[in-house]
Structure 1
Amino acid sequence: MPETTPRGLTRLAFGGDYNPEQWPESVWQEDVRLMREAGVTMVSVGIFSWALLEPRPGVYDFGWLDRILDLLHDNGIRVDLGTPTVVPPAWFYRAHPDALPVTADGVRLAFGSRGAICHSNAHYRTAATTITTQLAERYADHPALAMWHVHNEYGVPVSACYCDSCAAHFRRWLATTYGTVDAVNEAWGTAFWGQRYAHLDEIDPPRTAATVGNPGQALDYKRFADATMRENFVAERDILHRLTPGVPVTTNFMVALSQCDSVDYWAWGREVDIVTNDHYLITDGRRTHVNLAMAADLTRSVAGGAPWLLLEHSTSGVNWQPRNPAKAPGQMARNSLGHVARGSEGAMFFQWRQSRRGAEKFHSAMVPHGGTDTRVWREVVELGASLDSLSTVRGTRTTADVAVLWDWHSWWAQTLDWRPSEDHDPRERADAFYEALYDRHLTVDFAHPEADLSAYPLVVVPALYLMTEKAGRNVREYVENGGTVVVSYFSGIVDQHDAVHEGAHPGALRDVLGLTVEEFSPLLPGQAVRIAGSDGSELTGDVWTEVVVPRGAEPVWTYADGLTAGHPAVTRNRHGRGTAWYVSTRLGAQGLDALLGWAIEDAGVDARADLPRDVEVVRRTGESGTYLFAINHTAADVKVPLETDGTELLTGERAAGRLPVPAGAVRVVRLDG
């Protein structure tokens, strides 16, 4: 079995992307001196270095990389060594311009950025495996090598190419997936609009057409593009496994960012030895720490609950958003330790030293332009010491309370054209339900819809439009066996081919929910509906309503106005030994909190009502003990109740009864016993 922890790393990982090639060698000695001062334990090297390592076809220059790896090893710093296959050199594209990707409109993209790759291109595949082999053969026994970092952020910024090479590859993929052209016709429903194919070689990628194309074809092309990138990763990984046994191989994911929604990370998580993730705050006015917690929980879930590693985040502001505010004092530590609380085995950054040139020169770094006489640097040093004091946390696992169903294939299907309302955003619903659970201080695992759900008293299904029959049975059996489920609107509608389940909506879920939906009735911009409860309570919904007909379900809240007036808006259905809730409109935060309050009571979940809002309490447990992380995102000092005494690891103080957590601070208690 491959190793699942960085080789030779005995502490939590702390460091970042190190790009010494951007600096004269005279700076390297200062770099490693500062790394030791900050407590750096590992750096990522060589990710964008193909043009330097192979300056001409078949001509290699490893001298500079030899020297930097030796220097890092001499200073006790481990190396996450990159295969630089995300940016082939200019000479490669000059020789093989067909390796540049083509858009659906037929435009071939140009060299000059990063990640501009046709993953079906045979020349690229050969060149990528060749440079990977050269690196593996040279550094297999280097004492600094901790793990391999293949490529960089697959799918960013390009995942799908629509060139002729991809068309031929797509046909081969269809032949493997379906076997016959008749099976493809059946899956895609090509009888509609006369799209039937007589031979597989008549099928092209879903290029720009006169109007909306076949949604089954578009969905399969997303699957094909993801699988093609994964083929290239596996090819490099297998070379590294063969030539460097015992060294784990990974690639950095971006599980919760919309920029990387073209990747099925459930599938990718099974291919890497260590799940790693890059996370950057989306500063659009929302509570950034909630999205961070969601990203960490989702990454841990992709890892199957095992420890994972935050491979990139920022010390302060990024540079690629319309507005890039700096992080507040203490926020870097809260962000970093928030990831650790939710399962990361450290906190790595992009990047070590802030660049003077290039597209990301205004992206923050561990060593900023201002050098060591800066707040950022002082906080970096302080964070390094904090992570060192948490070394015993390594190998423990985060404890979750509830589950949320998540499927990238469903997101792909929901973003296709001609849905009932463009105002319905499935990701917004996932975020909203997660935030409601977060505000009830519940730690979330994400689960594939076909995964075993028996460990969770409560499962939430936010806008899961695509559900296979197997997933529908899985949810039904979960409830029959005593589970509680909460389902939001437009879920369970289509199967894996984007074909509507036979019979009334919501096909895959109508039995467990005890209802049918006669008609979707989306609202116009600015419209809202009132929802009345039998107890006199009133909620508001917008964006979406439905004509719901109970088939055993009990109405809990009813539409009070609008076209759906008199029909149930929220229902509760006893099914077997469990309960299924359904909400057919978009509720705001108050409504979601009320709904989840009822569901949590059904499920018997302790929602920690004794904790203030924006104070996280998360547990990691393992052979070394149980660790309680308390993260205070507020401007006021708080006290967190402890059921067991313990030792606070960041200060060394004993903690008993109630744990004081200053405003904006983090405390980690190793509980006694």
Structure 2
Amino acid sequence: MWLTQAHPEVLPRDERGDVVWPGARQHWRATSPVFREHALRLCRAMTEHYRGHPAIVSWHVGNEYGCHNRFDYSDDAMHAFQDWCRERYGTIDAVNEAWGTSFWSQRLTDFGQILPPRFIGEGNFPNPGRLLDFKRFSSDMLKRFYCAERDVLAEITPDIPITTNFMISANQSALDYDDWAREVDFVSNDHYFTPGAQHIDELAYSGSLVGGFARRRPWFLMEQSTSAVNWRGVNPRKQPGELIRDSLLHTAMGADAICYFQWRQSRAGAEKFHSAMLPAAGEDSRIFYDVCELGADLRALAQAGVLGSRLRRSSVAIVYDVQSQWASEHPTTPSRDVREWTEPLDWFVAFAEHDVTTDVTPVHTTWDDYGTIVIPCVYLFDEDVADRLRKHVRGGVRAIVTYYSAIADMNDRLFLGGWPGLIGDVVGVRVEEHCPLTSMYPGALDHLDLSNGACAHDLADVVTSVDDDTQVLATFTAPPTSGTDGLPALTAHRYGDGTAAYVVAGKLGADGIARSLPCLFDALGLPLADDDAAGDVLRVVREHEDGAVFEFLFNRRDHDVAVPDIDGDVIIMSHATRTTLAPTGAIVVRR
């Protein structure tokens, strides 16, 4: 508070130019030279004071960068954005080309005319290219600030590893964490559970994505909750058993450290209703007993040698792209009900229904060693990604490409000639336009049935032509007047030396994808579990270089399920027996 009073110029401004006043947290702008000077002085003083202290095993820099100050529209930000654009594009003509500024008379003649996407009037629409670049810029500026703090620490204590806590969950896309992951010594994450039916699946998906950013190396769970959080409109508690189950699942997905916010529940302040290891109810409470039991479980896992082991690579990789998510957030898309982040999660859940635990990997990582690659709503594409996909499929890898993929280039300029843009030769179809599905307008088409029993909602592709060697696996069923009746919905296309790629032309949801996977995998020539118990148990394996294997089993249902045959020594059995997993049950086996 003293700093913001002495130097109000460090405070962010919102898109209307109003000061974002202090009173909560992160009341600073990443591009403020004044704040940077004071912050780095504090970093240096702290590091000098604590250097050599035996309790310091790592530096945790900052806290949830961009959680509350992701965007700043001040003059400091404006000048930094102009410099960022100059460095990225070189010439103002290149900026004009990238942003399509001829539209609506937005053409620029000088970098000094570049503004952040400030308020432009109610109901008006920002330039999509500029907005996308501003999101990239905002991630970069916060990263630059973190790196400056990190470098002070590294200068004084070069032997102490440094990290900062990301905020990775299925719907969280504040920063480009794949880019940030290159700047930390090890990846750390904050994750808060999704209440309801997707609790366990979203947690496993997010853990797999963290592992993707960490390049499958062990990572650090910096924050989670023992029970309820405080910041949702309604804050459900965790059910009995979920505290232990969730931490074991994070561990299964690659976490080598399990921490919580917070240790002792606050009596005052904005987070006083946020659960803690020691809750307001005191030690005589279910939460505290479960925390103690979890401590014993984690000690047993450490003694069994789980630390340093790595998540076994899946045969299936689901590709995630944060910048496609940013582009899909623009208000002038075919449907505001369609956002990139929902699709990879749906595919993860659908595969789990068939006993396949997939990897989730950033779009710009290697796809080597995967037999099947899923491209789910990767809206932005470039030649590099297209060439890598083409190379892998030609070499024998199976690819599943969904609707809303390869729609635009990296500047959000649409590909011409039909979609999916750069990879039409791989998938063997041509999409002429999108078919939004909605109940917003009475009598409008609100869904499309598929001939395989699935159903598309929110958006479908109008596939107007298929290559001669493309096989149609399912079609849309709709009123004749819709123009979609009988159009291809699922297709298979041979590409390369006996390999195949597929396009799924509509938003099917996890249930629809799970229903469609058997016919897709049959066409791909791949095995897929399809028995009555498929999907009851989530199975995750970590492997150590010394040969030790740790198998984690979790119940995905809200009722008791049978435990698969156990091969090895049982290390942990939580809400389970050797034959039965309760709804929040977990078993860990070492062999």
Classify the TM-score, shorter chain. over 0.9
Separation in structure 2 between the aligned mates of residue 425 and residue 389 of structure 1, nearest angstrom: 41
Deviates more, 1:373-382 or 1:504-513: 504-513
Q: Which amino acid aligns with 2:491?
A: T
Partner of 2:377: 463
1:158-197 equivalent positions in 2, closer than 5 A? 158-197=69-108
For 1:528 and 1:557, the matched residues in 2 are separated by: 19
Give the corresponding residue for 2:326. Answer: 412
The CA distance in 2 between the partners of 1:608 and 1:453, in whole Å, is 27
In 1, are the aligned partners of 2:377 and 2:402 still within 8 Å (CA)?
Answer: yes
Superposition deviation, residue 287 in structure 1: 2.2
Trace 1:589-604 onto structure 2 (pairs within 5 A).
589-601=510-522, 602=524, 604=526
**Percentage of matched positions with identical amino acids:** 37
What's the CA shift for 1:594?
A: 2.6
SS of the aligned residue for 1:184 comes to helix
Q: Specify the code of the residue in structure 2 equivalent to 1:554.
A: Q
Q: CA deviation at 1:297?
A: 0.6
State whether residues 450 and 474 of structure 1, in contact with CA within 8 Å, keep that contact through their aligned partners in structure 2. Answer: no
Compute the displacement of 1:193 (Å): 1.9
Letter in 2 for 1:175: R
Q: Quote how far apart the aligned CAs of 1:449 are.
A: 2.5
Say which is worse superposed, 582-591 or 614-623, in terms of deviation: 582-591
**Structure 1's 517 and 328: CA in aligned 2 closer, same or farther, altered over 3 A?**
same
Match of 1:234 among 126, 134, 147: 147
For residue 286 of structure 1, report the CA deviation from its aligned partner.
3.1
Instruction: Say if 1:380 and 1:593 are closer, same or farther in 2 by CA, change over 3 A.
Output: same
Deviations 1:319-365 (A, max 9, x none): 11111122111110000000000100131100100000100001110
**How far 1:448 moved relative to its partner?**
2.7
Say if 2:479 is the partner of 1:568.
no
Aligned to 2:312: 399
Q: Distance in 2 between matches of 1:262 and 1:532?
A: 35
C-alpha root-mean-square deviation of aligned residues, in Å?
Answer: 2.0
Instruction: Give 1:101 deviation, angstroms.
Output: 0.9
Judged with a 3 Å threshold, the aligned counterparts in structure 2 of structure 1 residues 525 and 430 are, in CA distance, closer, same or farther, namely farther
Equivalent residue, structure 2, for 1:277: 189
Q: Distance in 2 between matches of 1:532 and 1:170?
A: 47
Name the structure 1 match of 2:199.
Answer: 288
Amino acid at match of 2:168: V
Aligned partner (choices 205, 218, 222) of residue 307 of structure 1 = 218
Alpha-carbon distance in 1 for matches of 2:242, 2:453: 38
**1:351-385: CA deviation from partner (whole Å, max 9, x where unpaired):** 10000010000111000111111111111111000
Instruction: Note closer, same or farther for the CA distance 1:609–1:343 as it changes in structure 2 (3 Å cut).
Output: farther
- 1:558 match: 475
Does the CA-based 8 Å contact 1:484-1:580 persist in structure 2?
yes
- Per the alignment, residue 538 of structure 1 pairs with 453
Q: What are the Cα deviations for residues 153-180 of structure 1, in whole angstroms up to 9, with x where unaligned?
A: 1110220101111111111111111111
Confirm whether residue 220 of structure 1 aligns to residue 133 of structure 2: yes
Cα deviation per residue 1:182-234 (whole Å; 9 max; x = unaligned)? 11111112122221111111111111114212111111111111000000111
User: What is residue 71 of structure 1 aligned with on the other side?
Assistant: none
CA drift of 1:530 comes to: 4.4
Aligned 8 A contact 2:428 2:466 in 1:
yes
How far is 1:635 from its partner? Answer: 5.3
- The residue identity in structure 2 corresponding to 1:556 is L
* Partner-residue secondary structure (3-state), 1:261: coil
> TM-score, normalising length from structure 1?
0.82
Q: Which AA in structure 2 matches 1:127?
A: H
Matched, 1:366 2:277: yes
Tell me, yes or no, if structure 1 residue 254 matches structure 2 residue 174. Answer: no
- Post-superposition Cα deviations, 1:63-96, rounded to whole Å, max 9, x if no partner, equal xxxxxxxxxxxxxxxxxxxxxxxxxxx0110111
Give the conservation status (yes or no) of the 8 Å contact 1:531–1:557.
Answer: no
Asked whether the 8 Å contact 1:531–1:540 carries over to 2, the reply is yes
In structure 2, the residue matched to 1:104 is: 15
Question: 1:631 maps to what in 2?
Answer: 554
Alignment CA distance shift 1:651-1:511 (3 Å): closer
**Unaligned stretches of 5+ residues in structure 2:** none
Q: 1:243 aligns with which of 146, 149, 156?
A: 156
User: What SS is found at the alignment partner of 2:422?
Assistant: coil
Query: Which of 49, 53, 58 is residue 147 of structure 1 equivalent to?
Result: 58
How many residue pairs match? The answer is: 572
Question: CA–CA distance in 2 between the matches of 1:92 and 1:607?
Answer: 60
Offset of residue 400 of structure 1: 3.1
Following the alignment from structure 1 to structure 2, what is the Cα–Cα distance between the partners of residues 609 and 338? 24
Question: If the length of structure 2 is used for normalisation, what is the TM-score?
Answer: 0.93
Counterparts of 1:241 and 1:598, CA distance in 2: 54
Deviations 1:426-462 (A, max 9, x none): 2222222221122222222222334321311111121
Map Cα deviations across residues 603-633 of structure 1 (whole Å, 9 max, x no partner): 6355485855342111000124001011224
SS in 2 for 1:466: coil
Are the equivalent residues in 1 in contact too, given 2:354–2:528 (CA < 8 A)?
no
Q: Please say if residues 525 and 543 of structure 1, whose CA atoms lie closer than 8 Å, have aligned partners that are also in contact.
A: no
Q: Which runs of 5+ in 1 are unaligned?
A: 1-89
> Are the aligned partners of 1:457 and 1:605 in contact in 2 as well (CA < 8 Å)?
no
Q: Hey, what's the Cα distance between the residues in 1 that align with 2:528 and 2:557?
A: 23
Structure 2 distance, partners of 1:320, 1:118, is: 23
CA contact (8 A) 1:528 1:540 kept: no
| 1:200 has 2:111 as partner | yes
